[in-house]
Chains A and B, each alone.
Chain A
């Protein structure tokens, strides 16, 4: 700090604490909502302090199928679907981007720039703007209600390819020269030198992509008509619709909590990698 102003220091902390409280309020209310009995959640004003039913609700929600009278899959199954989708998207994107960035940076071959621009164009086509034709393609390929249909259309990513290209360009040329003198072929160089050198970049990207994959909404909503393939993030919408008939808000809030805890945990536990990934992919 530049100067000593105790009043300003205290004010800074006060405002920051207030800001944190404002940001955390929706999640606090959700947590409180998930810790009471269903009847209590129908009386106004709703409680602002946690009740004692949290673990009862947790057990009922996690092993049961959410609300009574809705036809959705068990919650643990939807969480498993979400996890699998997030991991497949993260691994898939990283794998295909590493390979294509390697080819574009380290090989001279005809149509190299053509491929580069084709990948670049995907940056301009987020799934939201081409949903209907993409849905038709996936339906024609018979990939509706499958993990492949959920993930493969989302794994092409220009940002990841750009990031790895950037990383590879900073690796000194001497690395390749010495590897070649030692007799290493292209794939040997890729596995033994490039991958270890870009380890932290891969990890940082993995954190970002895991969150991206877990939080997908529009695409799984369209692709999964089968309840067993639904993801937890998508199911929350069906819960809210069902809430108009059977308002079991404690269960709905518990599902919302279960849906947001894994990505939040990833952000907090791997904060350094998360920040690195966020600043690298957006530049």
Chain B
């Protein structure tokens, strides 16, 4: 933590940490404590008086079927995004690892979607799946399948999932490829001499050896799908049709800024904070230890 050789205490270290600590206090700690405080309050319809109600906002959320279904929907959404983008990235990384020449070229060609903002990814997919002019609804029409994600909740969900997964493939690919390239060649060569084919080697050697990366990416992808996909949902579906794509973060925004339900929105923020803390703890505790063999 501290260097063996260090400078003595003076006013200087306080000045050095001051900028970060001040920003943290004003824009992180204070708003977060405000959120916790507001989550115990209920404001009347005109915003004239507030009442301290302990956990009523939370019990209300617990009983609210909209909130519970939004919770389940967020978990479903995150699981689909994580699985799709990780599976796609794993397959591509597996083949890129085999290629002798050009694996860096493929890496360049595959990592740039990381730089596309989620809301732009949403806009791109919205254009491709636009019911009137989009290219995919046109093709689907030809084979007799009607596409309109403005009316069909399942299709809307599908659309936000693939838009979110598309953007994340780059990140997963980068980490999978790096993990595979760090496996010593002697191990795979020994297996090949023993007669294991490429598929067998992948299933019994490469995949188990990169399982720490898989676990790490699982946490990262879940965090991404929970908290960073607001832009995609806001651009593509606005949570609709009929709340079928309202995730937890979208609901905090919608109830707070559109519905102006301060207490309810704050209570949802507090629940999200608890979720983030849980994910951060998992990330630090388990990833430091790694999956052991």
Contact = CB atoms under 8 A, between A and B. Distances in A.
A110 B119 CA distance: 45
A103 B9 CA distance: 10
Majority secondary structure, A binding face: helix
Contacts of A180: 5
B111 A271 contact: yes
A211 B201 CA distance: 37
Contacts of A153: 23, 27
A282 B253 contact: no
Contacts of B171: 278
Majority secondary structure, B binding face: helix
A123 B38 CA distance: 22
B277 interface: yes
Interface residues of B, number: 101
Contacts of B209: none
Interface stretch (B50-58, B59-67, B102-110): B102-110
Question: Counting chain A CB atoms within 10 Å of each CB, which of B35, B174, B277 scores highest?
Answer: B35
A214 interface: yes
B227 A128 contact: yes
Contacts of B174: 275, 278
Given A16-B99, A152-B23, A268-B112, A218 B230 contact: yes
B128 A29 contact: yes
Contacts of A214: 117
Contact of B31 (A19, A123, A137, A267): A137
A25 B198 CA distance: 30
Interface string A247-278: 10100110010011001101110010011001
Contact of B117 (A16, A97, A260): A260
B20 A99 contact: yes
B19 A19 contact: no
Contacts of B266: 132-133
B292 interface: no
Interface string B111-153: 1111111111101111110001111001000000000000000
A233 interface: yes
Interface in A97-137: 97, 99-100, 102-110, 112-113, 115, 118-119, 121-126, 128-134, 136-137
Given A119-B21, A137-B26, A236-B120, A173 B252 contact: no
B178 A118 contact: no
B269 interface: yes
B166 to A, nearest CB: 7
B261 to A, nearest CB: 10
Contacts of A222: 257
A122 B82 CA distance: 25
Contact of B235 (A9, A115, A240, A267): A240
Given A19-B88, A29-B124, A107 B235 contact: no
A187 to B, nearest CB: 8
Contacts of B203: none
B280 to A, nearest CB: 5
Given A19-B88, A218-B230, A134 B31 contact: yes
A66 interface: no
B38 A133 contact: yes
B119 A237 contact: yes
A247 B231 CA distance: 21
Contact of A125 (B25, B28, B169): B28
Contacts of A124: 273, 276-277, 280
Contacts of B272: 128-129
B115 A129 contact: no
Interface stretch (B40-48, B70-78, B89-97): B89-97
A107 B114 contact: no
A253 B119 CA distance: 13
Given A152-B23, A240-B235, A2 B192 contact: yes
A259 B124 CA distance: 12
A95 to B, nearest CB: 8
A124 B211 CA distance: 25
B234 A106 contact: no
Question: Counting chain A CB atoms within 10 Å of each CB, which of B115, B169, B228, B231 scores highest?
Answer: B115
B14 interface: yes
Nearest to B249: A128
Contacts of B31: 130, 133-134, 136-137
A186 B12 contact: yes
A103 B257 contact: no
A239 B235 CA distance: 10
B34 interface: yes
B282 interface: no
B276 A26 contact: no
A225 B115 CA distance: 26
Given A119-B24, A130-B28, A211 B123 contact: no
B14 A109 contact: yes
Nearest to B201: A2
Interface of A: 1-3, 5, 8-9, 11-13, 15-16, 19-20, 23-27, 29-30, 33, 41-46, 48, 95-97, 99-100, 102-110, 112-113, 115, 118-119, 121-126, 128-134, 136-138, 152-153, 155-156, 161, 168-169, 173, 176-177, 180, 186-187, 211, 214-215, 217-218, 221-222, 233-234, 236-237, 239-240, 247, 249, 252-253, 256, 259-260, 263-264, 266-268, 271, 274-275, 278-279, 282
